[in-house]
Amino acid sequence: MSEFRVKIIDSATEDIASSSEEDISIDRDVGVLLKESICDYNILIINLDDIYGYYISNAFFTKGDFVDFLRKPSVILCISGREKHLAAEPISNYDWIPGREHFLVTNKTGKSLAPTDESGRFKEIFISYNWEWKCSFNLSLPVVSPYVSIANNISDQSVALKTNFDKGKVFIIPRPEIDTENSKAYAEFIRVMIDLCKEEIEELAAREKEEPDWVEKYVIVEELELRDEIQKLQSEYQTLLKAHRLFYEMGEALTETVSFVLSAIGFNTQNKENLGTHDIEICEDDLDIIIEVTSCEDNWININKTRQLLDWCRRFERERGSKPKGLLIANHYCNHPPPERDEPFTLPALKQGEAEGFCLMTTEQLYKIFCKFFKDEMNKNEIKKLLSETTGLLKFEG
């Protein structure tokens, strides 16, 4: 293959000189990225910390664009980062990746990394650099995943993936441990990645004959409809998989999951955990809800959490002039399956929650409510009424 066209979406990348065999386009400011056909390129390098599913699905590219991109010998190389959800949308910066429904992302950080037997050309790269990963991947799903791990951490969890997709390949690798101000060193790393991607494409091109353009004229309407239906089912399946995290996540990851599920139901949800205030805020035309999300491994939730929620509700009322509904969502005894868990709240917490008009519930109850919504057995307004009218412990068995 004599010509390569490279698209880089990465705010940390400086100009990289093109060789005689390639044409490189760099987009640093993804906020002003113009809509264009990525199919004009055969190497796509994306920093997942710089691009959000909302942009891809609503303003710039669609998931279908990336599927089309891989219908020729091509490579998508993703620099992994934390999974992030847009506050008002049940979509993350990973959801556009072809085959996304076949792996789960867990936000955690670390530096241990060792190549697996599947690492191929990446083995030398993994050995040559120090790494700092911000997430790990779970491939142990009910369906066989086409993704394979090409690098694991010291706990044998995957931190880098690859898959073949149509006539192309997708790689997801962490960012090397390079000082963010050392743009030249990072540019050198990207240069190495481009050369590696070129080798992968040369191999793909030698192995597979590209489908002629005229074959597209013979695609029947039923095929297009089936493609759309598959993408819809994949999205719904991925949403259900993410909701499973309500049973076992803690801390920031649990807050992100609760925010995602409430957004999927249709609430105007804002995740504020990193802003030094309450965890989640729901602002509807007729109702404001202040939410605290809490968890513990082998214990119940005490009065400190209801006091914290009271503080945030009072601050909201002082600043906004209206009294919000307080909602405390707990993942108690999260190291145990739900049937083995004790009561979620201490008696003092229950008494204060009821006295202040708060709704106290568990993540298991939220999951059951979400399942009812998913099966069209409850709608958003019914759920809103249930939460707003509950004082004290929520009575909901699903």
How confident is the model at residue 53, as a pLDDT?
47
pLDDT for 33 equals 43
Instruction: Tell me what pLDDT residue 223 has.
Output: 85
Do 200 and 59 have their domain in common? yes
Q: What is the pLDDT of residues 337-360, one digit of tens each?
A: 899 999 999 999 999 999 999 999
Note whether 333 and 341 are within 8 A (CB): yes
CATH of the domain at 22: 3.40.50
Give the model confidence (pLDDT) of 27-78 as tens digits: 554 443 445 668 888 999 988 877 654 444 444 566 778 888 898 899 999 9
Beta bridge partners of 149: 161
Strand 114-115 to 148-152 pairing:
antiparallel
Q: Do 250 and 103 share a domain, yes or no?
A: no
Residues 80 and 121 reside in one and the same domain: yes
More confident residue, 376 or 140: 376
Asked whether residue 234 is assigned to any structural domain, the reply reads no
pLDDT at residue 56, as a whole number? 47
Per-residue confidence band for 324, with pLDDT thresholds at 50, 70 and 90:
very high
Q: In this structure, are 180 and 246 located in the same domain? A: no
Nearest to 387 by CA among 346, 337, 328, 299: 328
pLDDT band at 151 (very low <50, low <70, confident <90, very high): very high
Residue 369 is assigned to a structural domain of this protein: yes
Instruction: Kindly report, residue by residue over 71-110, the tens digit of the pLDDT.
Output: 889 999 999 988 876 555 566 788 888 888 888 898 889 9
Is residue 235, in this structure, part of any structural domain at all?
no
Long-range (24+ apart) CB contacts under 8 A made by 34-41 are 34/60, 35/59, 35/60, 35/61, 37/65, 38/7, 38/65, 38/66, 38/69, 39/65, 39/68, 39/69, 39/72, 40/5, 41/5, 41/6, 41/7, 41/69, 41/74
Q: Hey, CA dihedral for 185, 187, 193, 196, is it positive or negative?
A: negative
As for how many domains the chain has, the answer is 2
Q: What is the mean pLDDT of residues 259-268?
A: 92
Considering the domain architecture, whether residues 210 and 246 belong to the same structural domain is answered as no
Count of CA atoms in the C-beta half-sphere (13 A) of 385:
5
Q: Does residue 375 form part of some domain?
A: yes
Sheet holding 359-362, edge to edge: 269-271, 280-283, 288-295, 325-331, 359-362, 392-393
160, pLDDT greater than 80: yes
Does residue 59 fall inside a structural domain?
Answer: yes
Q: Are residues 52 and 88 in the same domain?
A: yes
Q: Is the pLDDT of residue 378 over 90?
A: yes
Cα 269 to chain centroid distance, Å, stands at 16
The pLDDT value recorded for residue 162 is: 95
Residue with more model confidence, 368 or 237: 368
Specify the CATH number for the domain of residue 343.
Answer: 3.40.91.30
Do 171 and 260 lie in one domain? The reply is no
Mean pLDDT of the chain: 85
Print the domain residue range for 130. 4-218
Is 226 within a domain?
Answer: no
Distance CA 180, CA 347 (A): 49
Are 135 and 107 spatial neighbours (Cβ–Cβ below 8 Å)?
A: yes
Q: Are residues 68 and 189 in the same domain?
A: yes
pLDDT for the residue numbered 88: 52
pLDDT in tens, 187-223: 888 889 999 999 999 998 887 666 688 887 888 888 8
Percent of the chain beyond pLDDT 90?
A: 48
Domain boundary among 173, 203, 218: 218
Domain boundary among 218, 251, 285: 218
Please report which confidence band the pLDDT of residue 24 belongs to, taking 50, 70 and 90 as the band edges: low
174 shares its domain with 300: no
Residue 225 maps to a domain: no
User: Does residue 325 or residue 240 have the better pLDDT?
Assistant: 325
Statement to judge: residues 214 and 335 lie in one domain: no
Q: Are residues 106 and 196 in the same domain?
A: yes
Average pLDDT over residues 329-339: 91
Return the pLDDT at 58.
Answer: 44
Q: What is the pLDDT of residue 319?
A: 92
Tell me which residue has tokens 């992030």.
Answer: 84
Name the band, by pLDDT with cuts 50, 70 and 90, for residue 280.
Answer: very high
Same domain, 126 and 47: yes
| Domain-located, residue 233 | no
Residue type, 341: R
> Is residue 259 predicted with pLDDT exceeding 50?
yes
